[in-house]
């Protein structure tokens, strides 16, 4: 016994005891730390360190989750261990936003009847609300969007649309009101791109083509009429049709196109509502993209629903028509501008360059009295929203500049026309590497690109030279 006691009194034994004690203390601290972290809500524990912030949840989704009154269940019909980590991570973070959102994994291998019950294939998220008895589904392929290679048939995920797809699905199952938007044809208009129609669908707005020339009136189920870049003028009869539609509380969004043809009738209708289209195209020597005066970066003055989701106000207008406000045909019409050039804007024609501040986006409203389906007189707000360029939503522009908020501004303008409709459209996040460019080159660009780096090099050389001489 005495020998064992002496054994623990040696220097080596004391050092060993100290090491053992410190190890036990560290293990205890780690265990305690894990217990504390486990008590923190999951949304606070998860930090998005992905290159493209694919796990970042938009303010629109957060607002929707906060305002949920009824429970929504996300049934994930997939083998959990085989599911892409990005989808699993995002589902966990998304559901942590609200106690009203539940995620339930169903293994289709163990429970094949679930696929029949929901009439879907495996690797699908079924979103359901018992309150409204509405159900919709989101495929994993809609979340991890793949693009085929130009040279072969292989494909890889190029976009992540978890935020947009899930928020749209929850909005659908918790709401009962849906809307219908028609887009005109027959005047050289550009059909709405799939990108636009997908965004509108996310806000419960379906779209359909409308050939105005064959109609005697605007369809009764038309909640909104879109004229996207008409390059030839509307007829007198079509203008009368539009005018009657507006006088009954109709909503119209029109995007002006680059055209050499006379647009007397269409521009005349805009002037009736207080917006006079200037001759030529608009250049801006102050707010333009990398010295191209016809690539405009407008001043935005939006608020309320029109400002929803706009963080950087980075909007690009190409080959735009400009407008000036004028007295409308009726005193009951009011016009508000939300997008303009700087003071150094120019309306450029072959002969003249007229300087001024030009309107690139404006909305005219008029409160009118109409009869509803019950024959009762009610007041409705007719709205005419005009954008100076149809290139605002052109796919070539929006896909070339990933940081632009063109689509957000457009969908805000659309949903602002519709009662009880919110722009919950969220664009997919690119999984590709993006590079920043400076939108307004000038003294700042020279400072960042040349002056600062050169100053650092010279300063470093001076410090090195002085130390070398010591």
Q: What is the pLDDT of residues 366-390, one digit of tens each?
A: 999 888 777 788 888 999 999 999 9
Percent with pLDDT over 90 in the chain:
54
Q: What angle do CA 181, 186, 190 make, to 5 degrees?
A: 65
Q: What confidence score (pLDDT) does residue 61 get? A: 85
**Closest of 199, 200, 137, 203 to residue 175, by C-alpha:** 203
- Across the chain, what does the average pLDDT equal? 84
- Strands laid side by side in the 345-348 sheet: 281-284, 345-348, 353-356
Please write the tens of the pLDDT for every residue from 282-334. Answer: 999 999 999 999 999 999 999 888 888 788 878 999 999 999 999 999 999 99
DSSP H/E element including 215 = none
Q: CA dist 364 to 196, 271, 274, 330, Å?
A: 23, 10, 7, 11
Please give the average per-residue pLDDT across 261-290, as a whole number: 96
Tell me the helices (H) and strands (E) count for the chain, helix number first.
15, 23
Please give the average per-residue pLDDT across 227-236, as a whole number: 96
Q: How confident is the model at residue 467 (pLDDT cuts 50, 70, 90)?
A: low
Spell out where 94-195 has E strands.
101-106, 124-129, 134-139, 144-148, 155-160, 179-185
Q: Distance between CA atoms of 198 and 113, rounded to whole angstroms? A: 31
- Does pTM surpass 0.85? no
Q: What are phi and psi of 133, to 5 degrees?
A: 60, 35
Q: How confident is the model at residue 179 (pLDDT cuts 50, 70, 90)?
A: very high
Region of residue 119 (left: phi > 0; alpha: psi -120 to 50; beta: else) = left
More confident residue, 5 or 88: 88
Dihedral of CA atoms 137, 140, 143, 147 in degrees, nearest 10, equals -130
Please write the tens of the pLDDT for every residue from 402-419. Answer: 788 999 999 999 999 987
51-60, 65-74, 320-329, range with the lowest pLDDT: 51-60
Q: How confident is the model at residue 435 (pLDDT cuts 50, 70, 90)?
A: very low
Give the rounded distance of the alpha carbon of 305 from its chain centre: 13
Of how many residues is the chain composed? 470
21-25, 166-170, 410-414, range with the lowest pLDDT: 21-25
Q: What confidence score (pLDDT) does residue 149 get? A: 43
Q: What confidence score (pLDDT) does residue 316 get? A: 95
| For residue 49, pLDDT beyond 60 | no
| For residue 438, pLDDT beyond 70 | no
DSSP H/E element including 64 = helix 59-66
Q: How confident is the model at residue 436 (pLDDT cuts 50, 70, 90)?
A: very low
Assess contact for 385 and 412: CB atoms under 8 A. Answer: no
Please give the average per-residue pLDDT across 204-233, as a whole number: 94
Helix, coil or strand: residue 296: strand
Most confident of 58-72, 136-150, 241-255, 421-435: 241-255
Assess contact for 351 and 314: CB atoms under 8 A. Answer: no
Q: Distance between CA atoms of 60 and 168, rounded to whole angstroms? A: 10
Q: What confidence score (pLDDT) does residue 439 get? A: 46
Q: What confidence score (pLDDT) does residue 399 get? A: 84
370 beta partners: 378
More confident residue, 46 or 21: 21
| For residue 99, pLDDT beyond 70 | yes
Q: Distance between CA atoms of 89 and 102, rounded to whole angstroms? A: 14
231-235, 239-243, 393-397, 455-459, range with the lowest pLDDT: 455-459
Q: How confident is the model at residue 204 (pLDDT cuts 50, 70, 90)?
A: confident
Looking at residue 164, the DSSP 8-state letter turns out to be H
Assess contact for 252 and 242: CB atoms under 8 A. Answer: yes
Helices (H), 220-290: 236-247, 264-272
* The residue to which tokens 């965004």 are assigned: 199
Q: How confident is the model at residue 164 (pLDDT cuts 50, 70, 90)?
A: confident
- For residue 234, the tally of other CB atoms under 10 A from its CB is 23
**Closest of 249, 192, 189 to residue 213, by C-alpha:** 189
Q: Distance between CA atoms of 260 and 286, rounded to whole angstroms? A: 26
Q: What confidence score (pLDDT) does residue 349 get? A: 93
**Closest of 418, 389, 423 to residue 408, by C-alpha:** 423
């Amino acid at each position: 016994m005495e020998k064992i006691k002496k054994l623990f009194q040696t220097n080596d034994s004391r050092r060993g005891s100290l090491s053992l004690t410190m190890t036990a203390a560290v293990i205890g601290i780690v265990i305690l730390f894990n217990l504390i972290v486990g008590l923190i809500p999951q949304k606070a524990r998860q930090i998005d360190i992905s290159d493209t912030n694919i796990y970042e949840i938009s303010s629109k989704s957060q607002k929707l989750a906060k305002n949920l009154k009824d429970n929504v269940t996300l049934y994930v019909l997939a083998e959990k261990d085989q599911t892409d980590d990005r989808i699993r991570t995002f589902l966990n973070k998304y559901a942590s936003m609200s106690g009203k959102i539940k995620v339930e994994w169903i293994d289709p291998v163990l429970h094949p009847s679930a696929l029949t019950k929901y009439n879907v294939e495996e690797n699908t998220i079924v979103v359901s609300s018992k309150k409204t008895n509405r159900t919709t589904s989101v495929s994993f392929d809609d979340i991890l969007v793949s693009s085929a290679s130009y040279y072969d048939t292989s494909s890889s995920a190029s976009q992540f649309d978890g935020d947009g797809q899930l928020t749209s699905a929850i909005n659908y199952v918790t709401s009962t009101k849906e809307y219908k938007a028609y887009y005109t044809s027959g005047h050289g208009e550009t059909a709405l791109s799939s990108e636009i129609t997908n965004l509108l669908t996310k806000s419960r707005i379906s779209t359909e083509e409308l050939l105005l020339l064959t109609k005697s009136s605007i369809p009764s189920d038309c909640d909104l009429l879109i004229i996207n870049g008409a390059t030839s003028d509307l007829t007198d009869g079509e203008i009368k049709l539009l005018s009657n539609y507006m006088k009954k509380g109709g909503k119209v969004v029109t995007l002006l196109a680059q055209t050499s043809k006379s647009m007397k009738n269409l521009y005349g209708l805009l002037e009736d509502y207080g917006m006079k289209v200037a001759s030529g195209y608009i250049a801006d020597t102050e707010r333009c993209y990398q010295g191209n005066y016809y690539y405009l970066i407008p001043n935005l003055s939006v608020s309320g629903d029109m400002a929803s989701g706009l963080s950087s106000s980075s909007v690009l207008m190409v080959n735009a028509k400009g407008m000036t406000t004028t007295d409308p045909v009726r005193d009951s019409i009011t016009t508000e501008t939300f997008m303009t050039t700087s003071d150094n804007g120019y309306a450029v024609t072959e002969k003249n360059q007229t300087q001024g501040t030009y309107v690139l986006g404006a909305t005219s409203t008029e409160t009118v009295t109409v009869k509803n389906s019950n024959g009762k007189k009610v007041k409705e707000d007719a709205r005419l929203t005009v954008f100076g360029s149809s290139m605002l939503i052109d796919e070539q522009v929006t896909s070339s500049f990933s940081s632009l908020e063109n689509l957000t501004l457009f969908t805000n303008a659309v949903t602002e026309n519709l009662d009880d409709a919110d722009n919950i459209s969220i664009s997919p996040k690119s999984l590709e590497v993006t590079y920043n460019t400076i939108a307004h080159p000038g003294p700042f660009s020279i400072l960042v690109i040349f002056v600062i780096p050169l100053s650092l090099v010279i300063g470093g050389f001076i410090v090195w030279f002085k130390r070398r001489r010591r």
